[in-house]
Structure 1
Amino acid sequence: MKSTAPHIHGATTFDDLVDWGVQSDAIEGASASSGRLLFKGPNNQPETGIWVCTPGRWRLSIPRDEFCHFVSGKAVYRSDDGETIEVGPGTAVMFPAGWTGECTVIETMRNIYMLA
């Protein structure tokens, strides 16, 4: 991944992932996260990589703008103001900094993300 243009071939199936532990703020189940960091800039901005998460439900608060392109699995995000966002393969979501709510992963999901 050291390159003038960091890249991961086959990002939708890449399996050399690192255990990132259990999702914090669990409501139900014990979602396990893993992934691979592709690039992290100065002050950790931007940060981009692959994130995989197993089924479960937890609270979340998005600290920085985060773009997610979901390439497999199924999940439902519910904001504190009642909005529901169902995600699956091919869904792209731009979560603004400060977005709060919860996530329920129904089928192990994989997402290509960028934090700005």
Structure 2
Amino acid sequence: MTDASVSDISGIVDFAVATPELTHSKPAPDRLLAGTPEQKTRNFFSDSTGQFFAGTWESTPGKWRVRYAESEFCHILRGQVHIEDERGNGRTFQTGDSFVVPAGFIGTWHVKVPTLKLYAIFEAASK
């Protein structure tokens, strides 16, 4: 879905009633470290600049390398993930937790149990 008029109520996206397309994906083989994670994304909102997105993402268990060009706010609705940086420092997040992964983060995502999250992503325009 794309953004609507920003001057009236029609521009508000209600996740409870919107029906965005479901996209299936898997981590790229060169990034996969463990498991066979399958991911589903529903992007409920994209702004007109192509820099801001919001929706839901879910994944089956697995572990893969990540490199963030964007900043991402996450809220775990169900499940548990462990995120680790390149130095081996990690944090576990589970149902009810909210966090931000800043642009420039390099490390791993490890989905321990099937996980569903809300996301809001901002990716700065290329210079």
What TM-score, normalized by structure 1, do the two folds share? 0.87
Question: Displaced runs of 4+ in structure 1, greater than 4 A?
Answer: none
Q: Give the secondary-structure state (helix, strand or coil) at the position aligned to 2:41.
A: strand
Match of 1:67 in 2: 73
What code does the residue aligned with 1:7 have? D
Post-superposition offset of 1:29: 1.3
The answer to whether 1:6 aligns with 2:10 is no
> CA offsets per residue over residues 56-87 of structure 1, 9 Å max, x none?
11001111111101110111110112321101
How has the CA–CA distance of structure 1 residues 17 and 73 changed in structure 2, closer, same or farther, with 3 Å as cutoff? farther
The count of corresponding residues between Structure 1 and Structure 2 is 113
Question: Which consecutive residues of structure 1, in runs of 5 or more, have no partner in the other structure?
Answer: none
Q: Give the secondary-structure state (helix, strand or coil) at the position aligned to 1:44.
A: coil
The answer to whether 1:88 aligns with 2:94 is yes
Determine which structure has more spread, i.e. the larger CA radius of gyration: 2
Question: Which consecutive residues of structure 2, in runs of 5 or more, have no partner in the other structure?
Answer: 5-9, 123-127
Post-superposition offset of 1:103: 1.1
How has the CA–CA distance of structure 1 residues 4 and 42 changed in structure 2, closer, same or farther, with 3 Å as cutoff? closer
Match of 1:79 in 2: 85
Post-superposition offset of 1:40: 0.6
CA RMSD between the two structures = 2.1
What TM-score, normalized by structure 2, do the two folds share? 0.80
Aligned residue runs from structure 1 range 31-46, under 5 A: 31-46=37-52
The answer to whether 1:21 aligns with 2:25 is yes
Match of 1:105 in 2: 111
What code does the residue aligned with 2:63 have? R
Q: Give the secondary-structure state (helix, strand or coil) at the position aligned to 1:82.
A: coil
The answer to whether 1:58 aligns with 2:64 is yes
Question: For the Cα contact (< 8 Å) 2:69–2:104, is it kept in 1?
Answer: yes
Match of 2:7 in 1: none
